[in-house]
Amino acid sequence: MRILGIDPGLRVTGFGVLEKHGSRLQYVTSGVIRTGEGTLPARLRIIFEGVAELVDTYRPDQAAVEKVFVNVNPQSTLLLGQARGAAITALSVGGLEVFEYTPMQLKQAVVGYGRARKEQVQEMVARLLTLTGTPGKDASDALGVAICHAHSGETYAALAEVSPALAAKGLRVRRGRLIG
């Protein structure tokens, strides 16, 4: 299974592609989509077209996107939400099912601690994928969300079949218990 992970951002959107072979993960590629300083619609178009190009080039089977967290600045949160929307729309137009994970879920899956620092995520992504170097923060987060999906996506999909309403809320099963 090939998974495309996206860490949305209005200035920099990270992406990471990996393949899952049984329980083994294999790195394919990662990087960023930079939007520059244009108008908001122009920047959203760059995100949309960049993600659409990734879908066409790497042909992922599934996509995982980091959920927006509420920032101190409501305007920044709204702008981030629009960037996320452009990325999710491109994934959906590309025919992919999109799974969403919170930053805490990502950190828990990659580092084992939901409040880990970005540097810890970067280091663990490099170790888990046996990379020769450390990816940048945005690419690392995108690979992290792909790793998170690789580890919990099957459970998430099974939960969605049983109860779509619970899966839509981001709930998952851990040690036989339903958690958020």
Q: Are 51 and 13 in contact (CB under 8 A)?
A: yes
Residue 36 burial (CB < 10 Å; 0-12/13-18/19+)? Answer: exposed
- Residue 138 annotated as part of some ligand binding site: yes
Using alpha carbons, select from 87, 47, 39, 45 the residue that is nearest to residue 66.
87
Q: Residue 138 catalytic? A: yes
Catalytic residue among 53, 66, 119, 123: 66
Sequence letter at residue 160:
A
Give the three-class secondary structure for 103. Answer: helix
Q: Which segments within 96-154 are labelled E, that is strand?
A: 98-101
Q: Residue 61 catalytic? A: no
Catalytic residue among 7, 100, 119, 161: 7
Catalytic residue among 49, 56, 100, 138: 138
- Between CA 46 and CA 20 the distance in angstroms is 29
Q: Residue 123 catalytic? A: no
- Residue 56 annotated as part of some ligand binding site: no
- Residue 123 annotated as part of some ligand binding site: no
Please report, in range form, the residues annotated as the binding site: 7, 66, 138
Positions marked catalytic: 7, 66, 138
Please report, in range form, the residues annotated as the binding site for Mg(2+): 7, 66, 138
